[in-house]
Structure 1
Amino acid sequence: MTEEKFIHDCKTVLKFIQLYCESEHIKTKKSKNSIQLNYNDKNLNKKIDYLLCKKCKKTLNYSYVKLQECIHDDKPSCRKCPKPCYDKAEWKHLAKIMRYSGLRLGILKIKNKLFRRFKKSA
């Protein structure tokens, strides 16, 4: 996996987990944190800030470690991976987050396209 792909995947996982956490853990205390991205023992000089509850932070850290350890040069989606590295319980939890957030991001994307289209014609 290239460094750019690694950074993109880290940001994508974070976006999905943040959306899930904001919606599902409304009353849970969240703390501001950051991750310094490292890939193949190399500091990428890229820091990502985020605001998550403890449970979602744990999920993000777990996902980050698994992304770092991915053995594939051309990384498939984890769902299609011939050698999944996630523990079954963690994989099910992240799959739930991805389904939840993916649906909302898809709906938001459609909503924004429709809004722009109607705004242009008005």
Structure 2
Amino acid sequence: MNATEKKTVGKMIHLYCHAKHGRRHTLCAACTELNEYAQKRLSKCVYGNEKPTCKKCPVHCYTPSMRARIKEVMHYAGPRMLFRSPLLAIIHVFSELRKSPVK
């Protein structure tokens, strides 16, 4: 599994938790749960290193409730990543352009 993807989603959750829950250095319980879940799902991805970005993936491995939560985090944190972690944001954009959906 790509460590950069794990780092990117972790950073997005931290940005979200800081802004929405006022947590500066540690995640709140709900965001910790989401981060652990996302990291575990990324580790167990059936596509391994050939994994497309989640947006393009034909298999949605998150439960509906967790999928809604991560979408909310990504909607908030995605645009802010360019200012907070520009390198991770650029890598994510290029990987989304480069990787096609797995058939």
The interval holding the TM-score normalised by the smaller chain is 0.7 to 0.9
Q: Equivalent of 1:78, from 54, 73, 97?
A: 54
> What TM-score do you get using the length of structure 2 for normalisation?
0.72
The separation in 2 between residues aligned to 1:21 and 1:81, in whole angstroms, is 26
- Report matched runs for 1:27-46 at 5 Å: none
> What TM-score do you get using the length of structure 1 for normalisation?
0.62
Q: Which has the higher strand share?
A: 1
CA radius of gyration, larger in: 1
Moved over 6 A (4+): none
What fraction of aligned residue pairs are identical, expressed as a percent? Answer: 34
Deviation at 1:105, TM superposition (A): 2.1
Partner of 1:19: 15
Question: Is residue 33 of structure 2 the alignment partner of residue 58 of structure 1?
Answer: yes
SS in 2 for 1:85: coil
**C-alpha root-mean-square deviation of aligned residues, in Å?**
1.8
The separation in 2 between residues aligned to 1:79 and 1:87, in whole angstroms, is 15
Q: Which has the higher contact order (CA 8 A, sep 6+)?
A: 2
Aligned residue pair count: 83
SS in 1 for 2:26: strand
Q: Which has the higher helix share?
A: 2
Structure 2 unaligned regions, length at least 5: 85-103
